[in-house]
Structure 1
Amino acid sequence: MMSKSEIVVIDSQHEHVLFTLEEVCERCGTHTQMIVEMVEYGIVEPIEQPLLDDWYFNSQALVRLQRAQRLMNGLKLNLSGVALSLELLDEIDGLQQHIEVLRRQLP
């Protein structure tokens, strides 16, 4: 059975669904202050909602928060370490995508 922090099922037709701060906390199994700190460290950014004071997060942010939480729990990283790790993982993902594009161009 999967733990609560690993459950994210978002089908493509709902990729533009927004989650409130409370919903994100519930799905990640964490408290509001931890999400606030992750935002402060640049790990994730809420979606801009000019008419609302509340924070909203998209599905990609939710997945990123869960990934950050796994790094914290599994590797015992602090938020600085998590931010750096996610930045490096993002860079690796970008490089892998670039390699795949170049690979397709080969004869």
Structure 2
Amino acid sequence: MMSRLILQLNIHEFCQSAELPQAALLEIIEHGILEPSGASPEQWLFDANALVIAKRARRLQGELQIEWAGIALALQLLDELEQLRAENTQLRRRLSRFEAE
């Protein structure tokens, strides 16, 4: 049986790993881009998925030079696009089975 390592970083480790100043992280959380576990910043924990999202948000913010609210919308639209593409691929596979008959 394979064990899964669960990454949990506190706010300082997360900021360092994501290469984000703490003020930027607080803005990202305020705009709902990330939702850490824990009641207060001192108790917040972030997982590997949050790290991926934060790095993506930071990259988009650097490339597009827009505010975090715009980044939140851009990330939401990119997620929807990925879901639609996956659904489209799945539907094309189903359709190809009927066309082959």
Q: Using the alignment, how far apart are the partners of 1:99 and 1:19 within structure 2?
A: 36
Q: Deviations over 1:1-36 (max 9, x none)?
A: xxxxxxxxxxx943x211111111001222212111
Instruction: Report the TM-score, using the length of structure 1 for normalisation.
Output: 0.77
For the pair shown, which has the larger CA radius of gyration, 1 or 2? Answer: 2
Aligned length: 93
Q: Are 2:51 and 1:45 equivalent residues in the alignment? A: no
- Identity, % of aligned pairs? 35
More deviation in 82-91 or 24-33? 24-33
Match of 2:56 among 48, 67, 83: 67
Unaligned segments of structure 1, at least 5 residues: 1-11
**TM-score after normalising by structure 2:** 0.81
Q: Is 1:20 matched up with 2:14?
A: no
4+ long deviations beyond 4 Å:
none
1:104 is aligned, of 78, 93, 101, to: 93
Which stretches in structure 2 are left out of the alignment for 5+ residues?
none
| RMSD, matched Cα | 2.0
